[in-house]
Structure 1
Amino acid sequence: MALWPLFLNNQGRLIHKWKHYFPAYERHFHRYVTRPVTFLEIGCGEGGSLQMWKQYFGPLATIVGIDIRPECSAFEEDQIHVRIGDQSDETFLKAVLSEFGTPHVVLDDGSHIMEHIAATFGYLYPRIADDGVYMVEDLHTAYWEEYGGGYARPGTFIEQCKHLVDELNAEHTRGAVEETHFSKTTLSMHFYDSIAVFERGATGTKFAPQIGTR
C-alpha cells in the first residue's frame, strides 16, 4: 500500500505533513507494512496522522501517539492508543514502553524544541528494536532561535547529528573518537531536508577482501 495516496484521499482527521517527507517515510517504513509493528509517534497533531499510519501499516500494527495535550486522548480508536505526557520525561517514556513494549519505529514530530528532541532521542533510541528505525522530522527548527536552534549553535540536534556521524565511524578514527553504544548498534544514518533517520543494526566483522585477478 502506498502512503501518498492515503494522504491525498484522507477523509478522516486532519493530517498536516510536508510533501517531500513521503518518499522518506516509504523508504524507511515500508518493510513494516502488514507486520506486527509497534509504531510510536511523538506529537499527535489533529489525530489524522495516527489514522494514516494505522491504514498504512495494516491490521497487525499497534499505533501509539504521545502528546502533552490532554485533548489528544480523543484520538484513540481500534489499534490507536494515546498517552498524555512530556516527551522529555524519562519516567513517562519508561511507562509507555512498559505498557506497549519495544517500539520498532519512532517518529518524533513533537515539540520540535531542541532540548526535548535530544532528551527523547537519548532515552528512546537505545531502547527501540535492534533493527528499528528512529526518525526526527521538522529539523528546520534546529536553525530557529525560538526552538533553541540557530546555525551551528551548540546543542541543536543538527549539531548533535554531526557528532554522531563521527561516532558511527569511531572504529576508524584511530582513537580520536571513542566507540559507544551508538557506534556499535547503529547501521546507518540518513539525512533529508528537515529529517534525520537512524537505522539500528550491526555490520558484523569488517573486512575488505580483494577478489579477482590483476
Structure 2
Amino acid sequence: MVIKRTGASLTQMFKEFVRHPRTTLASQNRVPAFLRGIFFAHERSTAGDGDANEKPAPGEEVYPSNPLMDYFNAHEKGPGVFKWLHYFEMYHRHLAKFVGKDVHVMEIGVYSGGSLGMWRSYFGAGARITGVDIEPVCKAYENEHTKIVIGDQGDPSFWRRILADSPPIDVLIDDGGHTPEQQMVTLEQVLPRMKPGGVFICEDVHHLYNDFSSFVSGLDDALNAFRNTPVPPKKGDIRSVATPFQSWIHSIHHYPYAVVIEKHEKPITSFDAVRHGTEWQPFMGGRDS
C-alpha cells in the first residue's frame, strides 16, 4: 500500500513538474520547515502543557453552548445526526451571519438525514437545503424544503451538471465520502462557483500526511502571495496587488479534522501597509515626512 501510494505521488509530482517546473522545484524547499513543524508538534505533545490535573478526562470535555449544539443535544430520536462535537463551535462561528436569511445550504453526505433538519432549524424558514449523496436511498429525505441530489462527488462532470441547474450556493458542507480525492474535486468544482461571502467547510480531514491537507497547504501559500507595487500610494507605505485568488478568498481556517474557507463579500484589489505617526526609530530607515 505504501509503495503504491508513493508511486502515485511521484507520478503526480512528475506531471506537475512538466507543467510547472519552477513552482514544483520551489515547493521542495518547504520540506525541511514542514518536518520541523511536525517534530515540534510531536515534542509539545510529549512534553505536556500546564497542570494535567486541570485537563478533563477523555469524553468529559465541555463544549460551549450555541443553537446547533443545543439542537444536537436535544435530538435523541428520529433521523440520525453524526458529528464531531468540536465542530459545533466552528459551525456557529462561521455560519451565524446567514441565520434568518434566504440562504442556500448544500451538504454532501446525507446518510440518515438528521443534519438536514438541523440546518433548517438553525438557518430559519428562508433556508433552501440541498443534500448530496451517492446512495439512492437518501432520496427519501427530499421534501418541499429540501432537495436531494444523487451522484458521485468525486466526478467533475457530476458537479458541472448539477451546478448548472442549481441556484448559487452560500454554504457548502462536505461530509461525504471523506477521501482526499473526493474532497479536492469537490473544492475545485464548487468553491469558484459559490456566492460572494460564501463559506466552504470540508469535514473529516483525518490523519497525518493527508493529501487534502497538503492540497489546502498549497492554497495557504497562494493566499500569502506578495506582489509589491514599485510606486506605493505614499512614500514609506507598502502595497501588494492582490492575485486573482486573493481577490476572492478572504481566509482559510484550520481546525482538528476540518478546513473552512471564506470568500470575500466583494473582491479586493490590493493589500496596504500604511504608516501613521511622525516619530520613527532610524534602524529601519525612518521615514521622510
| Matched residue, 1:162 | 217
Contact 2:222 2:245 in 1 (8 A): yes
The CA deviation at 1:180 is 5.8
- Other structure's SS at 1:206 match: strand
Alignment counterpart, residue 152 of structure 1, candidates 209, 225, 230:
209
Q: What letter corresponds to residue 216 of structure 2 in structure 1?
A: C
Quick one: distance in 1 between partners of 2:80 and 2:209?
A: 34
The CA deviation at 1:173 is 8.9
Quick one: distance in 1 between partners of 2:73 and 2:228?
A: 46
Residues 137-192 of structure 1: per-residue CA shift (max 9 Å, x gap): 1101xx3xxxxxxx336xx0101111111100112599xxxx86433311100001
Please show how residues 2-21 of structure 1 align to structure 2 within 5 Å.
2-10=67-75, 11-21=77-87
- Other structure's SS at 1:207 match: strand
The CA deviation at 1:25 is 0.2
The CA deviation at 1:41 is 0.4
- Other structure's SS at 1:135 match: strand
TM-score (norm: length of structure 2):
0.65
The CA deviation at 1:54 is 0.9
Provide the aligned C-alpha RMSD in A: 1.9
- Other structure's SS at 1:77 match: coil
Please show how residues 1-214 of structure 1 align to structure 2 within 5 Å.
2-10=67-75, 11-140=77-206, 143=207, 151-152=208-209, 156-172=211-227, 181-201=244-264, 202-214=267-279
Contact 1:109 1:138 in 2 (8 A): yes
Quick one: distance in 2 between partners of 1:96 and 1:36?
A: 20
| Matched residue, 2:233 | none
Quick one: distance in 2 between partners of 1:91 and 1:98?
A: 11
Higher relative contact order (CA 8 A, sep 6+): 1
Larger radius of gyration: 2
Which structure 1 residue ranges, 4+ long, deviate > 6 Å from structure 2?
none
Residues 81-137 of structure 1: per-residue CA shift (max 9 Å, x gap): 101000122222223223321101111001001111111111111111121110101
Quick one: distance in 2 between partners of 1:120 and 1:110?
A: 10
Contact 1:187 1:203 in 2 (8 A): no
Runs (5+) with no aligned partner, structure 2: 1-65, 230-241, 280-289
Change (3 A) 1:173 1:157: farther
